[in-house]
Structure 1
Amino acid sequence: MSVQAVMSTHPFRVADALAALGDRFAECSVAINVRGDRIGYRQWGERGPVVVLLHGISSSAASWLPCAQVLSQSMRVLAWDAPGYGHSTPLEQATPRAADYAVRLQAWLAALHVTPDAIVGHSLGALMASAYVAAAPTAMQPKCLLLLNPAQGYGQPGQEDKSRAVQAQRLATLDQLGIDGMAESRHAHLLRPNASDEERAWVRWNMKRLNDGGYRQAVAMLSGDDISAYLRKRPASTPAQIACGDVDGITPPQGCEALAKTFGLPFALVPSAGHASYIDAPDAVAGWIEHAVLSQSQNA
């Protein structure tokens, strides 16, 4: 199955995006516990179903803007900066697991007094979203879990050598290039080959906002955790779907489809989209999310 391709009527421009960040998708912050730990987030839309967007390892809440703009026409969109990203308080653990991020996610939603209709996890955010669903009480479960270009982690038994290699390579790149250097050298890999200069500049701008410590924690989680362990604990009452950009070279479609088949989940390809499919094809991804949420509302 393929997500319906939708061509945007307006070419993406970074200047327009930055203006919208300040005007419509502005940064907020909320304390989530008595210690004063905080989560930074952005929101757009005043009414309708609540859709929670979780970014990946090299990104931020702001990166969702093109997709959030579409979703906000009919939904209330909440996008967080994960712990250690933006102005969100880092986790206490040096080598956290997705479950640790999920604890903060639940505390953030509780602080905002919202129950999500959908949680959308992109890349490493898919691990966090799956961990949330595995442990959240019934009253805090989303109506659907949507995994977009999911990172599956390298913590499965038998993957020890691969896990160590991934962690060493990621941290060596960070140590050698720094955040700015990583953004310059790696940003294009997240997008389709024919992405525009403006789209590439948008990914680069988001990558340059990474925090060294938060990125190191996220690398530890990617290297040591396993999405399947959480999906096996997903309540049967919480439906899930998986989608992937059809030219994703980071979490290739074959691996994403195999994950879907393992758990009997619907799988869809996003046409003409790389790993950051919600930037390559924001209208199509928004349509996929809207269809999933609407389907659950009709079945309720």
Structure 2
Amino acid sequence: MSAVPTATADQHASLEARAARFPAQQIWLASQRAVNYREAECAGCESKRGALPLVLLHGIGSGAASWVQQFEVLGATRRVLAWDAPGYGASTPVAAESPNAVDYVTVLNGWLDALGIERCVLLGHSLGAIIAGAFALAYPQRVAGLLLLSPAGGYGAASAEVRNTKRDQRLAMLNELGPQGLAEQRSTNMLSAQANDDARAWVRWNMSRVIPHGYAQATHLLANADLAADLARCTGRIDVAVGADDTITPPAVCERLALAARIPLQVVPHAGHAGYIEAPAAFTAIIDTFCRASDGQRSPE
């Protein structure tokens, strides 16, 4: 056996062991839907320190396990939860074949209900930012702070031709490559040139596990969504950050979303689209600072 496959197998075994510290759990909602998630539970943090739960929403080619590095650090001071979005992992897909953000927001609201979380800090990465923004608009009383990392804005404000083209190109790529092919051919785009081998393996590991049907539904969500319009109507605490070397949602694109939210954009040097995987110290510090500032935010009347 050659050295490259052996190294890859060793890396995957190491990543799986690391993720196993925060094992996948499943909870059934009142709507009879299942949500898979991972959690780092800090016993007594909320009652003793006033630390709100942190809820993490992954992007289109990822999953709950991608947040392990944040679990390891932030889980020491607060409860941290990450879902497998509907149609990912063992989470029940949404019903609509061409869903809108509200379809995912409804499930997110039911998940928080099932977990007994009345109020949280909500973080969305890439496609997860679309769901997070729509949720903050629909349920502002449940969100003490909205943090968006490398947010995808969606194509809902574009022409029908643009929306359909973007959607169909991604669906064709999924059909041609499948999850494993996506991971091998597309994961490099998620990172900067400075990313180390462990970060590259971690992105591939997560991307190779997407479920085709759930990914296809998320592709429709991306085509239908308009995050900028939602952010323009949000009134709560919001921050937006992006890696300087992000080529998927570049700083110039994220700048327009930050302007819609009436806030400055944070740009992190030497980081690509999956910055929280590639540059965990820098992004975890941003998340921690935002969470601490959000803990004391009062719920709107």
User: Structure 2 length as normaliser, TM-score?
Assistant: 0.89
Q: Percent identity?
A: 41
Residue 98 of structure 1 corresponds to which residue in structure 2?
A: 101
Structure 2 residue 148 is matched with structure 1 residue 151:
no
The RMSD of aligned alpha carbons is: 1.5
Distance 2:182 2:289 in 1: 35
* Secondary structure in structure 1 of the residue aligned to 2:295: helix
Which of these residues, 241, 244, 269, is aligned with residue 243 of structure 1?
241
User: Structure 1 length as normaliser, TM-score?
Assistant: 0.90
Q: Deviations over 1:186-222 (max 9, x none)?
A: 0111011121222111111111110010000000010
Kindly report which structure 2 residues correspond to 1:124-163, keeping only aligned pairs within 5 A, or say none: 124-136=127-139, 138=141, 141-156=142-157, 158-163=158-163
Return structure 1 stretches of 4+ with deviation > 2 angstroms.
13-17, 158-161, 296-300
Which of these residues, 261, 266, 269, is aligned with residue 268 of structure 1?
266
Residue 107 of structure 1 corresponds to which residue in structure 2?
A: 110
The structure, 1 or 2, with the larger RCO (C-alpha pairs under 8 Å, 6+ apart) is 1
Q: Deviations over 1:6-42 (max 9, x none)?
A: xxxxxxx65443212212x1100000124x2100000
Contact 1:117 1:293 (C-alpha < 8 Å) held by counterparts: no
Q: Deviations over 1:157-207 (max 9, x none)?
A: x43222111111101111111111111100111011121222111111111
* Secondary structure in structure 2 of the residue aligned to 1:150: coil
Distance 2:283 2:227 in 1: 22
Distance 1:66 1:15 in 2: 16
* Secondary structure in structure 2 of the residue aligned to 1:216: helix
Deviation at 1:148, TM superposition (A): 0.6
Contact 1:154 1:160 (C-alpha < 8 Å) held by counterparts: no
Q: Structure 1 unaligned runs (5+)?
A: 1-12
Kindly report which structure 2 residues correspond to 1:205-244, keeping only aligned pairs within 5 A, or say none: 205-234=205-234, 236=235, 238-244=236-242
* Secondary structure in structure 1 of the residue aligned to 2:85: coil
Change (3 A) 1:21 1:116: farther
* Secondary structure in structure 2 of the residue aligned to 1:143: strand
* Secondary structure in structure 1 of the residue aligned to 2:73: helix
Which of these residues, 72, 77, 84, is aligned with residue 81 of structure 1?
84
Change (3 A) 1:164 1:281: same
Residue 32 of structure 1 corresponds to which residue in structure 2?
A: 29
Distance 1:198 1:14 in 2: 9
Count of residue pairs brought into register by the alignment: 281
